[in-house]
Amino acid sequence: MAASATSYIHQTGTNTSIPRLEFSPVVEGPTYPARYLWVGRWSASRPVKGTVTALTPSSPAVDEAFGDLATRWRQETFLLSSVAQITAHPAYQQIIGMGHQAVERILGDLVENGPDHWFWALTAITRENPITADIAGDLERMTEAWLEWGKERGYVT
């Protein structure tokens, strides 16, 4: 999706305009598929090009990044009651952007800290959902379902 930095989206009813958000394809390591990378608040004027080397699942850098994002997400959403607002938080979205590297860490967080609103992220990353209609809304049972899913796939021992 190539566009120039002069592309704009005009806000309806106003004379102001904001830069059009564009995503530039980034080539990753052989283990992970190509993703789109968004750097900065407005990336249209600064397209990202280059190669991102996939980090190993046991990478301390990935662990640290996940921990920092999860802490920030919890600190900035603990007073919110809307699941939509909780899961729309930028740190939560960045965790989803970590892809499958985040799955083991999210499941580990559920083991260590108990139920939390990780289900949207797990579903977005894995494109699977072990939550059935009879347990939907019950955080404890939903957590158990995801941990069982993780055991079946080797994420949780």
Largest CA distance in the chain: 57
pLDDT digits (tens, 9 = 90+) for 22-64: 333 443 433 333 333 333 333 333 333 333 333 345 688 899 9
Threshold 0.85, pTM exceeds: no
Give the chain's domain count: 2
Q: Is residue 49 part of a domain?
A: yes
Q: Is residue 145 part of a domain?
A: yes
- Which element (helix H / strand E) includes 10? strand 8-10
Domain boundary pick from 13, 32, 53:
53
Q: Is residue 35 part of a domain?
A: yes
Identity of the amino acid at 43 = S
pLDDT digits (tens, 9 = 90+) for 64-80: 999 999 999 999 999 99
Q: Is residue 157 part of a domain?
A: no
Q: Could you tell me if 87 and 132 lie in one domain?
A: yes
Give the mean pLDDT of 5-11.
Answer: 36
Give the structural domain span for 81: 60-152
